[in-house]
Chains A and B, each alone.
Chain A
Amino acid sequence: MSNVMIYGEIKAGKIKKSAFELASQGRKLADSMGGELAAVLMGPQGEQFAPDLARYGVDTVYVLEAPELETYNSEFYAQALAHMVGEKKPEILLISHSMQGKDLAPRTAAKLGVGHIADCIAFELDGTTLVGKRPMYAGKCYAQWSSTVSPQLASARPNVLETAENPKAGTVEKVAFSPDTSRPTYKTKELSLDTSGKVDLTEAEIIVSGGRGMGGTDYSLLEEMAGIFGPTATVGASRAAVDAGWRPHSDQVGQTGKTVTPNLYVACGISGSIQHLAGMGSSKVIVAVNKDPEAPIFTKADYGIVGDLFKVVPEFNKELKTLLAE
């Protein structure tokens, strides 16, 4: 029996940090329900991560193996996950609201005929009812959502839930699974992942963003800052910079771009429009560099520097380098 089940996402041969976030949360929920915590991993690579998951409180790791599960595919993965839910009958299923999770969770929910409480930033239990708190209107308000049916499926925003070690003598169980291949799906022809080790915006702990004030495609000052911060930092952009063709669409932060939750967001030459704030407003600390003292970003920034970014950022980088070298 497993009362709580999590789906652990594996990307480019590594288990994602979100799996540990879900395990830590799942452990708490399972403990309050007096139950067990299971994790589902897809593909033969999964087995090696069982000890990591046990460290975060997972009792049983189910590893599903089938040729169709070797690379991610919405139909086969959703079938596999729905199969595990059918077999193990968890009361709660948690998935990450990552790009893959956004593709997988709703399809799995529809297969199971249940709802999907998406993009939660906090969970609590009301008896055995899972209550997920989630931002709506791009974070302009929050609401608590719960399911009226079982199993209760929810996804969690990456980078928000805390990880807590809670070692268990976890076990691994391999599960043979053959998907129904008569259901139409797509075929992956080409998968090009950035192998530079650059972290995705939605998972970054530090984001250095540039807007119209950058004045062109040269983002080297911001790349340099992200580089000084290290591999958990990356570069983002406002829509104005993206629409000008200076940065790719995938870099856009905001209401029609990505919602980000870094520990530190450095906004350079960004005015702070309502749509931009909607995407980055829940960053823990915001630093703004803008030459206009009236720029709206300053009403939200923890630290605002009024000045020309081309003069301030190089000094900032110098300071940072010295400090972080210590």
Chain B
Amino acid sequence: MKSLVCLKQVPDTETQIKVNADGTGIVTDGIKYVINPYDEFSVEEALRLKEKFKEGEVVILTIGPDRATEAIRTALAMGADRGVHVSDEALNQADPLVSAQALAAAAAQLQYDIIFCGHRAIDDDFAATGAMLAELLKLPQVTLVTKVEVSDDKKSAVVERDVEGGKEIVEVSLPCVVTSQKGLNEPRYASLPGIMKAKKKPIDKKTAADLGVSADPKLQSKNYTMPPERQAGKKFEGLEPEEAAKVVVQALRNEAKII
């Protein structure tokens, strides 16, 4: 079972984001980077598939600057076999379609039965790359998956996905692109032997030219701003529950006019 896992390095969820002085982006100094949490579910699911079929490969595919190598190494320490790192100044800030084009070009040089993407990257929050990649590769997409069962012949899978207010179970031919979300599994930690082994696993570097993709942006951003700071409102301490409840319910009606 050969899985291709698209993985992005993103600021840690604890990070306090600050907009830079001229509003062209965020301040990146001092940010701690981690694997996009949704991509950890992808790595885990790919490892489980390899373990189940007792053969195959898990390849990590990442677009990002040099530091993104750390995220690939972490995935290799979890048990993935090798990495492909698309590292090109022109692609590092790419919008979803350009990213998907680069991922598709890289995928075309690899073999896979299934491609995993996170359903969204928690930095730019587009939730678009996986579906775009599927379309570019002319593959089916199954987004927001919580369960993946690959048939013994590896030709199809039964996949459970979340839909608004419910669940959908679909049957899909492989290869396909699935986008992972919470609920799919519990990602494992990298073990110490895993970390030692990861150092020796290969990571291929690729540029946009190697992949034959142009980085013509389809989207552009400007005017980064901070959201209005939420202020602490009224805090009721030392009141009897009954009294506190009365005051707040009344305030919701008369002051906030929300109920």
Contact = CB atoms under 8 A, between A and B. Distances in A.
| A associates with B | yes
A318 B235 contact: no
A15 interface: no
Contacts of A74: 131, 140-141, 143
Contacts of A252: 182
B165 A316 contact: no
Given A102-B127, A143-B225, A255-B13, A323 B259 contact: yes
Contacts of B226: 141-142
A167 interface: no
Nearest to B38: A256
Interface in B14-30: 14-19, 26
A165 interface: no
Interface string A293-311: 1000011111111111001
Given A110-B100, A274-B14, A149 B218 contact: yes
B116 to A, nearest CB: 16
B208 interface: no
Contact of A186 (B136, B176, B181): B176
A282 interface: yes
B227 interface: yes
Given A304-B236, A312-B244, A256 B182 contact: yes
Given A193-B166, A299-B232, A137 B11 contact: yes
Contacts of A185: 140, 172
B182 A249 contact: yes
A198 to B, nearest CB: 7
Contacts of A307: 239, 241, 244
B132 A141 contact: no
B252 A106 contact: no
Contacts, number: 288
Nearest to A114: B218
Interface string A276-293: 001001101111000001
Nearest to A248: B183
B44 interface: no
Nearest to A322: B249
Nearest to A259: B125
Given A145-B221, A304-B234, A315-B241, A287 B248 contact: yes
Given A100-B164, A116-B97, A137-B125, A315 B242 contact: yes
A319 B249 contact: yes
Contacts of B249: 316, 319-320, 323
A200 interface: yes
Contacts of A193: 163, 165-166
Contacts of A256: 13, 37-38, 122, 182
A141 B225 contact: yes
Nearest to A282: B227
Nearest to B14: A274
A62 B66 CA distance: 49
Of A102, A119, A189, most buried by chain B (CB within 10 Å of CB) is A102
B59 interface: no
The 3 lowest CB-CB distance pairs between A and B, nearest first, are: A115-B218, A249-B183, A110-B135
Interface of B: 11, 13-19, 26, 37-38, 95-97, 100, 119-120, 122-132, 134-136, 138-144, 146, 158-159, 162-173, 176, 181-183, 216-227, 230, 232-239, 241-242, 244-246, 248-253, 256, 258-259
29 contacts: A100-B164, A116-B128, A136-B17, A141-B17, A141-B18, A142-B225, A142-B227, A144-B222, A145-B220, A146-B220, A146-B222, A148-B218, A148-B219, A188-B169, A189-B171, A191-B167, A191-B169, A249-B181, A249-B183, A255-B13, A256-B37, A256-B38, A264-B256, A285-B252, A285-B256, A306-B238, A312-B244, A315-B245, A316-B248
